[in-house]
Amino acid sequence: MAETIRKELNWMGNTLNKGEWIKNCNKLILRRDIWILAYEQVYQKQVTESDVQKMDVIISKLANMFQQLQRKNYIMYLNNTIFENRLLIEVVRIILMKIYEHYLKEYPIMKNEMEMIHYIKRTRKKVTWLCAGELNLQSSQINKRFIYQLRRNVKDELFILLVDRICKRAVDNKNKSNQALRSIYHLLVDISLIEWDALMSVSPHEVSSANFHPRYVSPTFYVRYKQHFICGYTSSKRMAKKHLEAMQYLKKWKFEHSGVYHWQTTLPFLDYTLRFNDKQNSSVLLSKSTVNRLITTYANLPSLSIKHRPQLINKTELEIIQVYNKELTSMAEKFFFIDNFYVFDKIRYFAKSSLIKTIACKRRSTSKKVTISLKNNEHQTLGVFYEKNGSRCWYGFITYRELRTIQFNKRKVKKTN
């Protein structure tokens, strides 16, 4: 059964590659076997009889909805919860991925910022000028461009109406807790920007020679993650700037960019600063602004004063230290791939000072007395003793060496994968 549905999905991709319309996607959604495939991908286990019965209920509701739509009754009578159903979203995602698999593989589109950073580091394309930018697309624009792209390839109004409703829910809930909607939102962004990706690999003069000088150039290097992109040029700086201006004028694409930088300087991008040591190797540094933003949790940098955290005072001292350790650990795990990891020594210093001041506020004591008290152990580091299962245990504030160990282990796991 699973093989049959996979063959049909492959047939959809082949149909699009031949330049033909894709039809009857709504019938594919009503197939039980594609729901079983979605279930196995989401939950990583075999489907049970009770799960199949729940799938049949949703499939029946969708079939009734499609019948209403065929009668030109465009009132979506289903409640919003069904459009947030995890399996329905996964079924739609599987179909969309198969439809646009060829397009998404044709251009360097990354799944996350870490993957994009690694792609930039290992690229060997020789460019002279680099530019980092971000497309300014509102939620309504993402939905509009996605449906426009879908109508160019799919001739199935029932499927398009269903996907449009899920798309609107995903765009509205992109920052909320629904993991399924957040996951498909990234796919919707990638599909809506297919036209942009194609334009960035073609000179604007080739698209509309009436409006542009024939000497405009296209980037020789391009990579994108969601609405963030980096492009590189081998031409002059003036021609690179003119290409970016032409792109904004050509299709009314609105984007902000950092400016055009020479490869021998640094390029600001997201939370990082890219430094190209030569035309083959590059390093990724955590930017100064990002470091300062991380430190603001623990200190006020303009006034050089340490912050205490009143919301933690009602916790035990062990729980307070655990909160700080968890924050520093998550930072180290998120930014493990940066080349200036030593900045975490500075971040840890401010976190330690904030920890001491918070505990001092809890004890109504001074920071000096708290420091002496917390270091009064054989480890000679900040920590507290606590009782566990009748035994006396010690828990300490995380050290810079331990943060380095986290970075090393994350990099080791990344290399093995």
- Give me the chain's average pLDDT, please: 80
Over pLDDT 90: what percentage of the chain? 17
pLDDT at 405 over 80: yes
Could you tell me if residue 234 is inside a domain?
Answer: yes
- Rounded mean pLDDT of 328-345? 91
Whole-number pLDDT of residue 44: 80
Paired strand residues for 225? 110, 228
Could you tell me if residue 237 is inside a domain?
Answer: yes
Whole-number pLDDT of residue 33: 82
Do 409 and 353 reside in the same domain of the chain? yes
DSSP character for 389? T
DSSP for 248-317, please give it. HHHS---EEEEEEEETTSEEEETTEEEEESSSS-EEEEE-HHHHHHHHTTTEETTTTEEPP-GGGTTS-H
Out of 234, 268, 285, a domain closes at 285
Based on the structure, what is the number of domains in the chain?
3
Do 359 and 246 reside in the same domain of the chain? no
Do 372 and 229 reside in the same domain of the chain? no
Whole-number pLDDT of residue 319: 92
Out of 250, 267, 285, a domain closes at 285
Could you tell me if residue 246 is inside a domain?
Answer: yes
Packed helices 139-153 and 157-172: angle between N→C axes, nearest 10 degrees: 160
Could you tell me if residue 182 is inside a domain?
Answer: no
Do 296 and 311 reside in the same domain of the chain? yes
Query: How many angstroms separate the CA atoms of 113 and 372, rounded?
Result: 42
Could you tell me if residue 186 is inside a domain?
Answer: no
Q: Name the residue with higher pLDDT: 102 or 77.
A: 102
Contact 233, 220 (CB under 8 A): yes
With b for 16 or more beta-carbon neighbours within 10 A and e for fewer, the 385-398 pattern comes to eeeeeeeeeeebbb
Coil, helix or strand for 364? coil
Do 209 and 320 reside in the same domain of the chain? no
Query: How many angstroms separate the CA atoms of 375 and 393, rounded?
Result: 15
Do 342 and 200 reside in the same domain of the chain? no
Do 321 and 280 reside in the same domain of the chain? no
Q: How confident is the model at residue 345 (pLDDT cuts 50, 70, 90)?
A: very high
Contact 344, 359 (CB under 8 A): no
Could you tell me if residue 179 is inside a domain?
Answer: no
pLDDT at 213 over 60: no
- Rounded mean pLDDT of 290-312? 91
Q: Name the residue with higher pLDDT: 144 or 250.
A: 144
Do 382 and 358 reside in the same domain of the chain? yes
Could you tell me if residue 184 is inside a domain?
Answer: no
Out of 259, 285, 311, a domain closes at 285
Q: Name the residue with higher pLDDT: 269 or 8.
A: 269
Q: How confident is the model at residue 212 (pLDDT cuts 50, 70, 90)?
A: very low
The pTM of this model reads 0.75
Domain that holds residue 297: 287-416
Could you tell me if residue 144 is inside a domain?
Answer: no
Q: How confident is the model at residue 7 (pLDDT cuts 50, 70, 90)?
A: low
Do 294 and 270 reside in the same domain of the chain? no
Contact 76, 65 (CB under 8 A): yes
3-state helix/strand/coil string of 137-157: CCHHHHHHHHHHHHHHHECCH
Q: Each residue of 133-189: pLDDT tens digit?
A: 888 877 777 888 888 888 888 888 888 888 888 777 776 665 555 666 677 788 888
pLDDT at 381 over 90: no
Do 244 and 314 reside in the same domain of the chain? no
Whole-number pLDDT of residue 360: 93
Do 252 and 352 reside in the same domain of the chain? no
pLDDT at 270 over 80: yes
